[in-house]
């Protein structure tokens, strides 16, 4: 079986890393992959995949018609058995380009893209989001064979927002290679001796709630002056707000913005608590990584997050957007090393049972084969 994976780019996000980890395991299962990207990325998994021998193509063209024509040429060259798309721009492009080529389209659904919280993002224009949703929905309903959602929460939101049939959706979560997290030495962060470390991993966007985290961290630091917040992730639309929030709270000496990092397992090994204050999520790949590392979690109580974190067992969940609740939960964990250790043990057990990359890849391959088969529609 040959699959053309169409994705916006091979950058630093969870969808990109997940695809990179899936590709060799799918190949071992007889599913060969070619990747078509809309953009080149300076950071992320792009160069590593190319160096490993993966066939990566870049789709040229500035406007949609030109890109559709360019991707259609790639489809003609690759002659895939299925076109697999990920992330909205690539979803729409891949569906249009594959139309009438004979290659069925399967889309990975990876985020809650059209909910009310998304519309509150100051970087989003509501009228444009509405237009994208209409085009996404039409191409999803009419030009897509099936869907692989990373969580039930994403599946439910997609059924609601895109008006697709629920029986065309399969659920396969993200996975990670446990070997990346076993026996990893803590990262060297040049911190004061004995400093307690809170860690957040995620791009600097409204979705990730880093502004809420900064207010919670101000409250935490008032009680525990030695605590340090490490934020790892590429810059984004919220970077200015984050910088302003740090300055206004006079937290320059206590917050480390370390940018994109390839050593997240080492950062997790150095952390006392992993914080995840997102406003909305599809699943949360960094949550899975925290489980794999045995790092206790405080996270937003979101439907997708509840599919990863067992409240009161592997982490504590709080209302999204509530810095006081986030601060209280963090302080309670910092004050209770025995509970942190218990969360760590149970978190790794949950990871081993549900989120290892080999098990996820087997489920993903089975879903691809099933959904690309004409009989899946009967």
Q: How far apart are CA 173 and CA 270, in angstroms?
A: 26
How far apart, in Å, do the first and last CA atoms of the chain sit? 22
Which CATH number describes the domain made up of 2-175+357-377? 3.40.50.2000
Place of tokens 């590429």: 234
Contact 364, 172 (CB under 8 A): yes
Q: Of 202, 205, 73, 68, which is closest to residue 139 (Cα–Cα)?
A: 68
Q: How far apart are CA 111 and CA 154, in angstroms?
A: 6
Decide if domain 179-354 falls under CATH 1.10.10.60. no
- pLDDT for the residue 194: 86
Q: How far apart are CA 296 and CA 273, in angstroms?
A: 5
* Summary count for the chain: helices (H), strands (E): 15, 13
Q: Of 258, 267, 300, 259, which is closest to residue 199 (Cα–Cα)?
A: 267
Q: How far apart are CA 54 and CA 47, in angstroms?
A: 10
Q: How far apart are CA 290 and CA 264, in angstroms?
A: 9
Q: What is the DSSP letter of 336?
A: -
Three-state DSSP state, 200: strand
- The stretches in the chain having pLDDT less than 50 are 378
Contact 300, 311 (CB under 8 A): no
Q: Of 343, 331, 356, 353, which is closest to residue 294 (Cα–Cα)?
A: 343
Place of tokens 């794999």: 292
Q: 22-73, pLDDT tens digit by residue?
A: 999 999 999 999 999 999 998 889 999 999 999 999 999 888 999 999 999 9
Contact 220, 331 (CB under 8 A): yes
Q: Where are the domains of the chain?
A: 2-175+357-377, 179-354
The crossing angle, in degrees rounded to 10, of helices 210-223 and 239-248 is 20
- pLDDT for the residue 378: 44
The pTM (predicted TM-score) of the whole model is: 0.94
For 61, other C-beta atoms within 10 Å of its C-beta total 14
Q: Of 112, 88, 118, 302, which is closest to residue 205 (Cα–Cα)?
A: 118
Rg (CA), the chain: 21
CA angle, 180 as apex, 365 and 274 as ends, to 5°?
A: 105
Q: Do domains 2-175+357-377 and 179-354 have the same CATH topology?
A: yes
Pairing of strands 297-300, 197-201: unpaired
Q: Of 13, 307, 357, which is closest to residue 156 (Cα–Cα)?
A: 307
The DSSP line for 142-182 is HH-SEEEESSHHHHHHHHHHH---GGGEEE----B-GGGTT
């Amino acid at each position: 079986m040959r699959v053309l994976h169409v994705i916006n780019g091979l950058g630093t996000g969870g969808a990109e890393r997940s695809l990179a980890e899936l590709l060799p395991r799918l190949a071992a299962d007889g599913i060969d992959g070619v990747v078509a990207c809309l953009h080149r990325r300076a950071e992320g998994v792009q160069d590593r995949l190319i160096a490993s021998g993966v066939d990566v193509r870049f789709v040229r063209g500035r406007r949609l018609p030109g890109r559709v024509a360019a991707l259609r040429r790639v489809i003609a060259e690759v002659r895939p058995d299925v076109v697999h798309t990920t992330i909205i721009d690539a979803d729409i492009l891949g569906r249009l380009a594959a139309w009438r080529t004979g290659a069925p389209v399967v889309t990975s659904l990876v985020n809650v893209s059209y909910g009310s919280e998304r519309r509150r993002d100051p970087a989003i224009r509501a009228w444009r989001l509405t237009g994208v949703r209409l085009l996404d929905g039409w191409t999803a309903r009419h030009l897509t064979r099936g869907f692989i959602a990373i969580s039930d929460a994403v599946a439910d939101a997609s059924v609601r927002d895109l008006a697709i049939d629920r029986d065309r959706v399969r659920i396969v979560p993200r996975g990670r290679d446990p070997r990346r997290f076993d026996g990893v030495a803590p990262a060297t962060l040049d911190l004061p001796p004995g400093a307690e470390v809170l860690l957040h991993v995620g791009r600097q966007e409204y979705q990730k709630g880093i502004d809420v985290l900064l207010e919670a961290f101000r409250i935490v630091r008032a009680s525990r002056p030695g605590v340090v917040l490490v934020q790892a992730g590429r810059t984004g639309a919220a970077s200015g707000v984050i910088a302003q929030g740090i300055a206004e709270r006079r937290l320059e000496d206590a917050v480390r913005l370390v940018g994109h990092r390839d050593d997240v397992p080492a950062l997790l090994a150095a952390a006392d608590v992993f914080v995840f204050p997102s406003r909305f999520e599809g699943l949360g790949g960094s949550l899975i990584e925290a489980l794999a590392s045995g790092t206790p979690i405080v996270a937003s109580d979101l439907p997708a997050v509840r599919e990863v974190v067992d409240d009161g067992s592997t982490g504590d969940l709080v209302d999204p957007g509530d810095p006081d609740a986030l601060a209280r939960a963090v302080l309670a964990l910092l004050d209770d090393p025995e509970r942190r250790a218990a969360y760590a043990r149970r978190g790794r057990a949950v990871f081993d049972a549900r989120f290892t990359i080999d098990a996820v890849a087997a489920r993903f391959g089975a879903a691809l084969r099933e959904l690309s088969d004409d009989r899946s529609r009967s």
